[in-house]
Structure 1
Amino acid sequence: MNLSDFLRFFNLHLLFLILYFIGTGQSKVEVPRPRGVSLSRTGLYDPEKNFTCLDGSKSIPFNQVNDDYCDCQDGSDEPGTSACYGGTFHCPNAEYRPENIPSYRVNDGVCDCCDGTDEYSGVITCVDNCLEVGRAAREEAARIAELYKAGKQLRADLAQEGQKLKNEKQQRLNELKKTKEEADKVKAEREELKKLAEAAESKALEYYNQLEEEQNAKRAELEAAQDKEQAVQFFKRLDTNGDSYLTLEEVLARKCFDKNRDGQVTEDEAKYFLNSEEQLDLEGYLEKAWPQMKPYRVLDSDMDIPPKVENEPTEEAPTEADDLAPLEGEEEEEEEEDEDTDDQEQVQQEEPPKPQVEYDEATKKLIELASQARTAFTESENDVRQINTQITDIERSLTQDFGREEEFASLEGQCFEYEDHEYTYKLCPFDKTLQVPKSGSMEITLGRWSEWDGPEENKYSSMLYTNGQNCWNGPNRTTKVKVSCGIENKVTSVAEPNRCEYAFEFETPAACKESSQQAENDLHDEL
């Protein structure tokens, strides 16, 4: 066989093989995708085989798929009808993004899929507007991609600033701890000096304290004697018949005992002053009646005096002058007190001023030194307290979750406002949320920082603030803050979807974590 014959044979053989494979490919029938089934699940619906329910509960002939009768408990045999409760229908939505809808919406007269595939019964004709919807979605996705692209650098700057702040706080914390060690030493030294100074002061004052106690005892004894003398004189004035007993009738005759100022002394009022007794001798009067009568004695000048009868013997009867005469040693006191009793109010005798003990110069010096030591120690206590407060604040801040790269750290200590027609709302990240009425009323705390509350895959997309002020007859207020990418920090909306539950929307470059490539991928996934 020469070369030309070999080539002819080879070409014929090659042509035969090509025709064979073409014929084999044409003979293969493509499996149609059942209505309502996504492309990823097409292989589970093979018309050449019995259909097995997706929950594995049973198998049925394939001709029972989409026959408008629910055979599978999970409804997987009716992906294209509304026969099964809880089933889903897949919308291909070419030129837009595919989606699943509840199967009860199939053929319900409403176009749920933008391509109209859910309404095939002919009851309604749906227009395929996926291209228009997809165009709007692409434009929005492109806008978001540009936003993330612009916010990416801003977020990087915030992350760099956050790391710097963290390093500065750590450095400041180390310095404060060293300062605290020195402050603790100074405090301990001043405390010891204070103890020594106070011990010397206390020892020096022992003599003067004892002297003062003796003076106080003498003064109390003198005051008691004066009080008893006044009580006895007042008893004599009230005992008009001189029988050494103070009776109910004698009290009733005295206008000064008109407690309620109604113009007469009642029996109840008289018994009050006699401690519910009908009569009292001097000893009983001193014990039971004088404490109640004492505040009223200065009003005795207003006592009712029976009119004097002419030619009446007066050897034993008290005269008006006697009845109104002031007690011994009370002339000046009663004159001053009468000036303050124009409205017939009760007046109590003022206690005499307490005499001051005069210290010698050595004792004065010890008192001054002790006072200085106490002041110095108090200053050290305040210094240590302030340092401890700063350390606690910095340690709390260092343990705060400001994002994976500290990108949210710069928000701490700032507040951002949002106004509506009635209130000004404030978001203070990592601290609290507030509602401030424009009427000037007191601000209301809507919540205090609790934690990041976003889903696991995007933890930093939501903030939670709890334990706000209590609603009237309701729970404590809470706030959820939705955090999204933006080229500046600002609160864009505030709502109260449920009573005492508030929803803020907050934009910040710190949330622009996606790269421009990821945003483009998201756009591709949607379409």
Structure 2
Amino acid sequence: MPSRATKRSMLAFLLAMIVAIACMLVLSNQQDNNDIKTDTDESKETCVDSLPIDLVDDDYCDCQDGSDEPNTSACSHVLLHSETPPFGPEFNCKADDKMVSLAFVHDGVCDCCDGSDERDGLCANTCATEWERRLQTLQERLNVVQRGLKRRTEYLAGSVDKVQKLKEDFERLAEAYQSGQRAFEDLQRQAQHNPELRGQLEQSYNVLRRVQYITYIQSRVVDPSTFSDAAWKPAFVELVGECYTYTVNEKELKGGTPNVIPRKYDMVLCPFQNSYNHGEPCANGQERHTRVELLCGEQNRVVSVEEREMCQYEVRFETPAACGQAEQDVLQDEISRVKTFFKTKDVGEFAGHEEL
């Protein structure tokens, strides 16, 4: 029979074993928690993080999330239906700076000039032709602006003399209006005693009202703030007293809608003479209103007239007076950018003419 000392030794051994097992369980739980944390962190990584670099952007979709093909269309079917596409909802054409919606990738239509938005062999590489055309369009616009700037310089050269003449014309017009006002008042007094003069009085009144309106318009024209020394204003004095006619058919004016009577209108634009607000009421009671957009051009002409809303017109008018150095600089910078960009891309044979 074991002695009391032996029993105590066995009990101490069992307690030590229990403590050791408990410590092992605690350490095991801690290790499991650490493993869980690591798994969570790893779950945040995308598929592309585990791929070798030569499988990224190789035009083959290796990852289910499409993360390995950010710059090709290989995974567009994945990204299009993803709630949070990792690289945005657009596809960047390989040989161009053009962005194409993923909805148009692999749809059978060649949106990129190099055809990178469709499967190989479907699209011809038209980049060289398109960029040549783009450069040609930019150069043609630059030529127009440069010719417009030259004419604008001529306008500026004669602006001082023309403004002075306008002031002299206004003084004569103001004197004529005052004389007409006095003559009308005399006729008004005579008509009180002679009813036969009432017809002449009414006619004189209409003429006087017209002269009064012209005098008011001219007073605005010769106001110092109208053609001040600001860089862009004096050139517009060339347009004073001029009118420009533009013929438009009503179907075109209404945006091509078929339910209109095919009529034509001659719309006359007279800068510094027309009133563009508070026009005659339309059928809906709204007053007619015209907005004139001034564009740089080598000649004075109405380019287009549109009725954006009922009786709300928009006139686009080209004139050398609207040309500025800023537009020329922008065009020259864009031409340089296009040439530089073109040379860095594989877009096929490109002549790159020096005159462009």
Per the normalisation by structure 2, the TM-score is 0.50
Per the normalisation by structure 1, the TM-score is 0.36
Rg (Cα) greater in structure = 1
